[in-house]
Amino acid sequence: MLPSWDCLLCGGRDSGHLLCAGCQTDLAPLPLPACPRCALPLADGHPCGACLRQPPHFDASVAAYVYGFPVDQLVQALKYGHRLALADFFAERLLAGPRPAGDLLLPLPLAPDRLRERGFNQALEIARPLARHLGLPLETALCQRRGATTSQASLPWKERRKNVRHAFECRGDLSGVHVLVVDDVMTTGATLDEFANTLKHHGASSVSNWVVARTLRD
């Protein structure tokens, strides 16, 4: 007999699932087609103007959902409420949609102070079931985030790139490797861009982002 849980969003009873069927349908999928580089929805699916004017260091981005209610509530429940079962749920949703190509999974590193405070890296927890399902290697110690940075969420969009400059270090040779970077939310893409820059400097042939949710610009 399957266990019964209260739905994380509406509190209703459901058999064996974190979310009831109704709340699962309320999760807004990312509209397609989208810019293949940054995942912002576009009518024609070609690279967006911003990526053409100033190409990011990453080569592709794929997201499952739009970051907004109620997806944001689930992301926050994972990060701040320690509802780690949501990492498996998010991984299942990612596997059910388009998959970027790659041969190595790297979770976006978390700042040391936030890792100590939270006790886990949500990107790593999402990446674990992805690696198991795909049979891909998962690197957990190859890259690190240097020191502490101001929370990106507290900064204007234009300040976020400056805040993460030189934020990452890599301790290995990635020559010829096609890297899949896993994270929970892609907002401006500044953090993922800086991480991709670091990976490319260490030889990565390509860097693709695989994220749970994408913030849409107004």
Answer whether residue 158 is part of any domain: yes
pLDDT digits (tens, 9 = 90+) for 78-106: 999 999 999 999 999 999 999 999 999 99
pLDDT digits (tens, 9 = 90+) for 114-165: 899 999 999 999 999 999 999 999 999 999 998 655 555 555 555 555 667 7
Per-residue confidence band for 13, with pLDDT thresholds at 50, 70 and 90: confident
Answer whether residue 87 is part of any domain: yes
Q: What is the pLDDT of residue 17?
A: 84
Q: What is the DSSP letter of 37?
A: T
pLDDT digits (tens, 9 = 90+) for 50-73: 999 999 999 999 999 999 999 999
What's the total number of domains in the chain? 1
Beta strands in 115-162 (DSSP E): 143-145
Answer whether residue 176 is part of any domain: yes
**Lowest-pLDDT range of 14-18, 31-35, 138-142, 186-190:** 14-18
Q: Supply the pTM of this predicted model.
A: 0.90
Per-residue confidence band for 1, with pLDDT thresholds at 50, 70 and 90: very low
Q: Residue 143 is part of which domain span? A: 30-214
Would you call 198 helix, strand, or coil by DSSP? Answer: helix
CATH of the domain at 98: 3.40.50
Would you call 180 helix, strand, or coil by DSSP? Answer: strand
**Lowest-pLDDT range of 69-83, 155-169, 177-191:** 155-169
Per the prediction, the chain carries an average pLDDT of 91
196 near 56, Cβ under 8 Å?
yes
Q: What is the pLDDT of residue 63?
A: 98
Instruction: Indicate whether 203 pLDDT > 70.
Output: yes
Answer whether residue 4 is part of any domain: no
Residue type, 45: G
Strands 178-186 and 168-170: unpaired
Per-residue confidence band for 178, with pLDDT thresholds at 50, 70 and 90: very high
Answer whether residue 50 is part of any domain: yes
CA distance 17 to 13: 9
